[in-house]
Amino acid sequence: MTDTLQKLFGSSARLKLLRLFLFNPKTAYSLKEAITHSRVTSDEARKEFAVFQSMKLIKRSRKSGAPRYQLNQDFEYVLALQNLLLNTASQGPDLYDRIRAAGSIKFVAISGVLLGEWEDGRLDLFVVGERVNDRKLKLEVQKLESELGMELRYTSLTTDNFYYRLAMNDHLVKDVFDYPHKIVHDKLNIGLK
């Protein structure tokens, strides 16, 4: 789906920056911060910022220091764009392939933003496995965040810790399974849907 959106919106950089502003409407970014979060080049960001400003999608402010840019919430298509990009954000099919190098991944469930739902405070990615390299997992999540334009809430547990928490009806595990979620990888055969 992302390839289709890249074609529709003209480039991967435009799509990443659109998502950054649309999914973080109250945050003002400097050019450098937007580049870091979106993982685009400075030339790409400057070009897209000029386009966004010309159509009044973002507004520029300068209180002190570098100029900052923020979503113009009065832009007439904000809600439509947010809904379009949020509902195409599903990352289930290729997510396991992206994170499997982080360790021996036994179970992956997605919810929240990764299912196209804009919920505050819930986990978006739940990983269970052995010898999970936190640095590698974090790097893959950061890549995904740059594509989605928003931070993801995620955690990883060992298999023993997961089973313990599941048996204890732990709040973290309960929140994943009590709300809309999708299991994208299950070598544990736990039978939850």
The mean pLDDT of 91-99, rounded to a whole number, is: 76
CATH number at residue 55: 1.10.10.10
96 shares a domain with 79? no
Q: Express each pLDDT in 142-162 by its tens digit.
A: 888 887 777 888 999 999 999
Residue 22: C-alpha distances to residues 25, 51, 53, 150 (Å): 6, 15, 14, 9
Could you tell me the residue range of the domain that residue 104 belongs to? Answer: 92-186
**pTM (predicted TM-score):** 0.70
| Cα–Cα distance, 99 to 132 (Å, whole number) | 10
Hey, what amino acid is at 80?
A: A
Length of the chain: 193
pLDDT class for 93, splitting at 50, 70, 90? Answer: low
Q: Express each pLDDT in 28-70 by its tens digit.
A: 999 999 999 888 999 999 999 999 999 999 999 887 788 999 9
104 shares a domain with 75? no
75 shares a domain with 137? no
The one-character DSSP state at 122 is S
132 shares a domain with 48? no
28 shares a domain with 44? yes
65 shares a domain with 24? yes
